[in-house]
Structures are given as structure tokens and as C-alpha cells.
């Protein structure tokens, strides 16, 4: 179980190791741990994936697509008309309290909310890669809603990166049933779902779904893929979401510390080396 406290002496050892480009487990500043990714584990879901990072952090993601009504609210008419032609992505992240002491009790709610928000923000927009318009079945009425449920089963640092990696894999694995639209005349439309599994198809644009690279600022340097002890030493974190073309799709900062301007741009550039 990951510790929640760190001694000043350990923090000092970690800090000096990072200055030396040699971390406590022998990695350099920009080395990732081994990633084990599996897809299609949950038969009841439309798509699923499980990712383990260095045999420690363990995230399971299930994707379920369901028919729902399109989002018709929107204060401005323009926004409303765009929304009427779109499907939606609904995210939910839950950290299992047995994974770490910090997920037990009330503390888990904040972390769950933060991660859920982060994921919905990235995936519900043009930067998310998914072609939401393709998810619409009948404009103004029915659409596909993609439910993404992430479960953090075990924690050994760097949840966010693992979560995004798993989500991307789960979306790749997702098969959406085909909807056959019948025109009944008078503008009335109806649809049936194809039973034929062969006709099911992937969500368009899954390959453009970004993954995240989290940079942890420790001292005046930054590292990727931090262990729990390194995360406790971290002053500030920067999550940079990048897609396959190396385009930045989102940046979010967390942690209480601050990041100098020069370091910030350096940290953002780093993702290119990592990927």
C-alpha cells in the first residue's frame, strides 16, 4: 500500500537523485515504467481495456454505448443546433479504496471528481478526437451516448496517464451497433438496431483520442511517471494531453506549487521525447 507521508530525508534523497538524473529505482528523469495493456476483457461491455504500469498502477476501463436523447439545452440557438446533431461522452472515474489509503473515506470523492472532470473535458470536444456527429442517429432526437467507466484497482503512482492510455485502448476496442434508419414520411423517422455483429463498427476518430503525459515538478526539474513517493515530493503537476500527431489537446495543472514560465514551456515540449 502506498504511503501517504514521506520523511524529509527521503524527500531530500529523491530530490538529489533527480538532479543527478538517477531516480530511486534506477530510471532517468524521462523514463517510463513498463506498460502492460490488455483489451476486450469485459464481455458485457461494448469495449474494455486494462492497463498496468510497472505491475503497480492498475486501471480498468469499460465502455458502454447506449441510445439516448440528444442534448437540446444550450442558451444560444447556435449552440443548441450544433448540440442537437451530436452524441455525447459521459465519463466516470472511481478509485477503489483498497488501492491506497488516500482513496479511503471522503478523500476519494475529490479525487474521483477531479479525474472525472478532467476526462470529460478532454473527450467532449473537438480535441477529444471522437467524431461526435457520427454518434448522432436522428438529429434533434436520438443519439449514442458513450459511457466510459474507469476503475482504479491499484495505485503505484501516475494514475492520470494510465487512465488515458486505458481509455484510448478501450475506445479502440469498442464496437457500436449499426442503426438502420427508416423514413416513414411526413418527416417521421424511426430506426432499428442491426443484430449482425459483423456490421458493428468502431467509433470514428478513436485514433485521434489523446493520451496524457504527466510531468511532476520536483525541485527545479521535472520527471515523468512518478512513483508514490515521488508524487509526495512533487510540488506541482502538469498533465499534457497529446494526440497521435503530436498536437497538444489540453493542459491541466494540479498540485499546490507553482511552475516558472520558462520551465512550463520546457515541460510542454518534453512530451515529444516521451512519446
Partner 1 sequence: MFVRTQRDNFESKVVTPGQVITADTQYMRGHGTYLNEEESSHISSVAGVVERVNKLITVRPLHTRYTGNIGDLVIGRITEVTNKRWKVDINSRQDAVLLLSAINLPGGVQRRKTEADELQMRKFFAEGDLLAAEFQGSFNDGSTSLHTRNLKYGKLRNGSLIVVPPALVQRCKTHFHTLSCGVDVTLGLNGYIWVSKHSSKNLDELDPEAIYSNDNEPVDRSTRETIARVCNCINALSRHFMCITDTIIAYAYEASLKYPVKDLLKLEAMEFVTTEVRHKLSVVRSIY
Binding site for partner 1 (CB under 8 A): 1, 3, 5-10, 12-14, 16-17, 20, 22-28, 31, 33-34, 54-55, 229
Which of 149, 88, 118, 111 minimizes the C-alpha distance to 211? Answer: 118
Strand pairing category for 179-185 and 47-53: unpaired
Q: How far is the CB of 58 from partner 1 (least distance, A)?
A: 14
CA distances to 60, 66, 171, 173 from 45, rounded to whole Å, are 12, 11, 11, 10
Distance CA 210, CA 152 (A): 19
Which of 92, 123, 95 minimizes the C-alpha distance to 211? Answer: 123
For partner 1, the closer of residues 26 and 185 by Cβ is: 26
For partner 1, the closer of residues 2 and 249 by Cβ is: 2
Q: How far is the CB of 13 from partner 1 (least distance, A)?
A: 6
For partner 1, the closer of residues 156 and 170 by Cβ is: 156
State CA 40 to chain mean position distance. 18
Q: How far is the CB of 215 from partner 1 (least distance, A)?
A: 19
Helix (H) or strand (E) holding 263, with range, is helix 261-274
Q: How far is the CB of 53 from partner 1 (least distance, A)?
A: 10
Q: How far is the CB of 157 from partner 1 (least distance, A)?
A: 13
For partner 1, the closer of residues 173 and 234 by Cβ is: 234
User: Dihedral sign, CA of 215, 217, 222, 227?
Assistant: negative
Give first-to-last CA distance, the chain, whole Å. Answer: 29
For partner 1, the closer of residues 72 and 98 by Cβ is: 98
Amino acid at each position: 500500500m502506498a504511503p501517504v507521508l514521506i520523511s524529509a530525508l527521503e524527500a531530500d534523497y529523491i530530490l538529489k537523485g533527480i538532479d543527478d538524473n538517477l531516480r530511486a529505482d534506477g530510471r532517468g528523469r524521462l523514463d517510463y515504467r513498463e506498460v502492460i495493456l490488455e483489451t476486450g476483457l469485459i464481455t458485457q461491455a461494448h469495449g474494455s481495456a486494462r492497463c498496468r504500469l510497472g505491475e503497480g498502477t492498475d486501471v480498468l476501463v469499460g465502455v458502454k454505448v447506449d441510445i439516448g436523447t440528444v442534448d437540446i439545452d444550450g442558451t444560444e440557438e447556435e449552440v443548441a443546433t450544433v448540440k442537437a446533431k451530436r452524441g455525447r461522452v459521459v465519463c466516470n472515474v472511481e478509485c477503489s479504496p483498497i488501492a491506497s489509503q488516500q482513496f479511503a473515506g471522503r478523500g476519494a470523492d475529490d479525487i474521483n471528481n477531479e479525474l472525472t472532470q478532467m476526462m470529460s473535458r478532454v473527450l467532449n470536444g473537438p480535441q477529444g478526437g471522437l467524431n461526435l456527429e457520427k454518434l448522432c442517429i436522428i438529429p434533434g432526437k436520438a443519439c449514442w451516448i458513450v459511457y466510459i467507466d474507469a476503475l482504479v484497482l491499484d495505485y503505484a503512482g501516475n494514475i492520470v496517464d494510465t487512465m488515458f492510455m486505458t481509455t484510448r485502448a478501450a475506445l479502440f476496442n469498442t464496437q457500436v451497433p449499426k442503426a438502420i434508419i427508416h423514413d416513414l414520411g411526413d418527416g417521421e423517422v424511426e430506426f432499428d438496431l442491426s443484430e449482425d455483429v459483423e456490421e458493428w463498427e468502431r467509433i470514428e476518430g478513436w485514433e485521434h483520442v489523446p493520451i496524457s503525459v504527466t510531468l511532476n515538478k520536483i525541485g527545479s526539474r521535472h520527471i515523468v511517471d512518478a512513483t508514490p513517493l515521488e508524487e509526495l515530493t512533487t510540488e506541482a503537476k502538469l498533465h499534457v494531453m497529446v494526440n497521435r500527431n503530436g498536437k497538444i489537446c489540453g493542459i491541466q495543472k494540479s498540485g499546490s506549487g507553482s511552475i516558472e514560465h520558462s520551465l512550463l514551456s520546457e515541460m510542454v515540449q518534453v512530451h515529444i521525447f516521451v512519446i
